[in-house]
């Protein structure tokens, strides 16, 4: 089966700034694929080229086997996009937002009404159908944006930072709905900078920084091969410990007050340092995507 999205040497430049710098990736039907990266990594630019909003500066990009430069309308007919900012129509009710959006796809009014009801029920906001957008909380708005992105029964759903700014309950609801869509066989493309989100939702992901793809693979595999099984985290580390880490050839990193040792034998490392060097606190925990992410993109602040 051909890939849903196929990018070869894809790049995006704004004047002298290169936002996406010749990346390759392919997304298969039915998978949830994640784009991770700090702000300005090039995630949103990539997404905007995929849904044919921004012109491609270089390389090749095919969606459903079609060139984005040649068949934008055909491609957009089969995509649903949930953008970062809430761009719902504040002059319309919840239900009307979906009906007006359905019209852009040329969906007949009767069919649109049926689908709108199904989707509002699916996202748990049917009871709020007559509310105005101003009456909705951030979480409800996001659920409505996702419902709107599904009105054309898309083969590919694009979620650009779908849970940024949401409270924990709303985030879990969004995740639950995305997983339900995955079970229905929908292909999902997700951008996020939440590692827990990527870990729970994505089958495969890439980590981007400065417009390039740093790594690509399944979240668990990436963590195991690039970080190790466990992380020993030491608060208030003394210089002697740093010395021991160097001499032992451990893979480690520091920030202002913590030392992170990446290892497959957490217990062994722990017992070798616990009595000697640890003055404050020391824990051994399972390595996660966050460790990989920070290892690859660094700890310094962006923007």
Partner 1 sequence: MSVIVRNLSLRSLRVWQRNRDVFLVTWKTNLVPPILEPILYLVAFGLGIGALVREVPYRGGMIGYTAFIAPGLLATQVMFQSFFENTFNTFVRMYYQRTFDAIVTTPLSLEDVMAGELLWGATKGTIACCVMMVAISFFGLLHYPHALVIVPFSFLAGLFFAGIALCFTAIVPQIDSFNFPVFLLVMPMFLFSGTFFPLDVLPGWARLLAEVLPLTHVTRIMRDASLGSFHPDLLWDLLYLLIVTIPVVYLGIRLMKKRLLP
**Residues 3-22, interacting with partner 1 (CB under 8 A):** 14
- The least CB distance from residue 90 to partner 1, in Å, is 6
Q: Which two tokens stand for residue 269?
A: 């490392």
What are the backbone angles phi and psi of residue 117, rounded to the nearest 5°?
A: -65, -45
Q: State which residue, 54 or 119, has the beta carbon closest to partner 1.
A: 54
Question: Among 161, 168, 204, 193, which Cα is nearest to 32's?
Answer: 204
Alpha-carbon distances, residue 207 vs 162, 182, 286 (angstroms): 17, 21, 20
Q: Are 303 and 259 in contact (CB under 8 A)?
A: no
For residue 94, state whether it binds partner 1 (rule: CB under 8 A). Answer: no
Of these, 25, 33, 64, 101, which contacts partner 1 (CB under 8 A)? Answer: 101
Q: State which residue, 103 or 172, has the beta carbon closest to partner 1.
A: 103
Of these, 11, 152, 163, 192, which contacts partner 1 (CB under 8 A)? Answer: 152
Of these, 89, 127, 255, 264, which contacts partner 1 (CB under 8 A)? Answer: 89
Q: Is 51 exposed, middle or buried (0-12, 13-18, 19+ CB in 10 A)?
A: buried
For residue 176, state whether it binds partner 1 (rule: CB under 8 A). Answer: no
For residue 67, state whether it binds partner 1 (rule: CB under 8 A). Answer: no
Q: CB under 8 Å to 65, separation ≥6 — which residues? A: 2, 6
CB atoms within 10 A of CB 233: 16
- Say how far apart CA 35 and CA 31 lie, in whole Å: 13
For residue 221, state whether it binds partner 1 (rule: CB under 8 A). Answer: no
For residue 44, state whether it binds partner 1 (rule: CB under 8 A). Answer: no
Which range binds partner 1 by CB under 8 A, 89-97, 227-235, 271-279, 285-293?
89-97
For residue 182, state whether it binds partner 1 (rule: CB under 8 A). Answer: no
Q: State which residue, 178 or 284, has the beta carbon closest to partner 1.
A: 178
For residue 69, state whether it binds partner 1 (rule: CB under 8 A). Answer: no
- The least CB distance from residue 233 to partner 1, in Å, is 41
DSSP state of 56: P
What are the backbone angles phi and psi of residue 61, rounded to the nearest 5°?
A: -140, 115
Helix (H), strand (E) at residue 6: strand 5-14
Specify the residue for token string 């905007």.
Answer: 48
For residue 187, state whether it binds partner 1 (rule: CB under 8 A). Answer: no
Of these, 3, 26, 30, 96, which contacts partner 1 (CB under 8 A)? Answer: 96
Which residues of this chain interact with partner 1, rule CB under 8 A?
14, 51, 53-55, 72-73, 76-77, 79-81, 83, 85-92, 96, 100-101, 103-106, 148-149, 152
């Amino acid at each position: 089966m051909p890939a849903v999205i196929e990018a070869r040497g894809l790049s995006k430049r704004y004047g002298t700034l290169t936002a996406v710098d010749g990346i390759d990736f392919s997304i298969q039907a039915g998978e949830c694929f994640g784009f991770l990266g700090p702000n300005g990594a090039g995630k949103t630019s990539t997404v905007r080229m995929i849904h044919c909003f921004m012109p491609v500066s270089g390389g090749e990009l095919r969606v459903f086997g079609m060139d984005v430069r040649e068949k934008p309308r055909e491609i957009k007919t089969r995509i649903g996009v949930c953008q970062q900012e809430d761009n719902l129509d504040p002059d319309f009710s919840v239900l009307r937002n979906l009906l007006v959006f359905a019209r852009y796809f040329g969906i007949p009014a009767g069919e649109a009404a049926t689908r709108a009801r199904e989707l509002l029920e699916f996202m748990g906001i049917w009871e709020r159908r007559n509310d105005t957008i101003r009456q909705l909380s951030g979480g409800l708005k996001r659920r409505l944006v996702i419902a709107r992105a599904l009105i054309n029964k898309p083969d590919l759903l694009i979620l650009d930072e779908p849970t940024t700014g949401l409270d924990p309950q709303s985030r879990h609801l969004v995740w639950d709905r995305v997983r339900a869509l995955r079970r229905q066989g929908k292909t999902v493309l997700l951008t996020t900078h939440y590692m827990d989100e990527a870990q729970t939702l994505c089958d495969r992901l890439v980590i981007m920084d400065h417009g390039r793809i740093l790594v690509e693979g399944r979240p668990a595999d990436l963590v195991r091969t690039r970080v190790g099984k466990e992380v020993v985290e030491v608060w208030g580390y003394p210089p002697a410990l740093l010395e021991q880490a160097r001499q032992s050839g451990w893979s480690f990193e520091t920030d202002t007050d913590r030392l992170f040792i990446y290892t497959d034998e957490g217990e062994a490392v722990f017992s070798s340092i616990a009595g000697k060097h640890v003055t404050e606190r020391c824990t051994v925990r399972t390595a996660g995507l966050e460790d990989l992410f920070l290892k690859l993109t660094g700890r310094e602040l962006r923007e």
